[in-house]
Amino acid sequence: MPVSTVSIAVGQWFTTGDAVRWWFDSGSFALDFAYTGPIGGLRADELLHAPDDLTQWLHERFPVAVGAARSRDLFDAIALRDAISRMALAASRDEALRAADIDLVNLYAATPDIPPSLAGGMMQAGRSVQTVPQALSTIARDAVDLFSPANAERIRCCSSDDCDVVYLDTSRAASRRWCSMQRCGNRAKVRAHRARKAVRVAA
Ligand SMILES: [Zn+2]
């Protein structure tokens, strides 16, 4: 039973080498955050160069107002994000997670997060603008959920030979194979179709 937290949409657009824009549903908000850095070959470099980059990402992804990030926040965010990235890669390879990374996620998760709230009331409960540390706590708490034993078999790498994208399979049957049907799934279908055709022609 996951305890209620602020509700955040998962998934983001990517434009990769072939200049095709495609939607990547990582299955997890914490994983979405991991993809602000170089993980899984989707982004060759760092997205969070300056505190303003972090401010913008949080602004785009959180449904509530979050204050401006400072240098210290950026430092914390990247430390948390890189721990989540290492853990996701390890989990996708069925390797043990590093205790130091687990400690880091737990540390951020132990601080106050962005509280959930119901619409329709008459008063503002708590602050009207949330802080960056609260946002990082929300991300860390989502990572606690992501790396819970229930998801152990569901953190996987895309089945395509030339793709290293890691995702959380949230499908009911745990049958997701691709980072995206549009990207790797269709390519695999085309290849399988060509292979079948080649066999028929040879026969
Ligand atoms: Zn893929």
Calculate the alpha carbon distances from 55 to 65, 71, 84, 156, 182 in Å. Answer: 10, 11, 19, 29, 30
Q: Which CATH number fits domain 2-202: 3.40.640.10, 1.10.3300.10, 3.40.50.2020, 3.40.1390.30?
A: 1.10.3300.10
Q: What is the reported pTM?
A: 0.90
The rounded distance, in Å, linking the Cα atoms of 53 and 98 is 28
pLDDT digits (tens, 9 = 90+) for 10-48: 999 888 766 778 899 999 999 999 999 988 777 777 899
pLDDT digits (tens, 9 = 90+) for 122-160: 998 888 899 999 999 999 999 999 999 999 899 999 999
Give the number of C-alpha atoms closer than 13 A to the C-alpha of residue 111, restricted to the C-beta side.
Answer: 15
CA of 154 to the centre of ligand 1 (A): 15
CA of 165 to the centre of ligand 1 (A): 6
Neighbours of ion ligand 1 (CB under 5 A): 158, 160, 163, 165, 179, 184
CA of 80 to the centre of ligand 1 (A): 25
CA of 179 to the centre of ligand 1 (A): 4
The rounded distance, in Å, linking the Cα atoms of 114 and 131 is 8
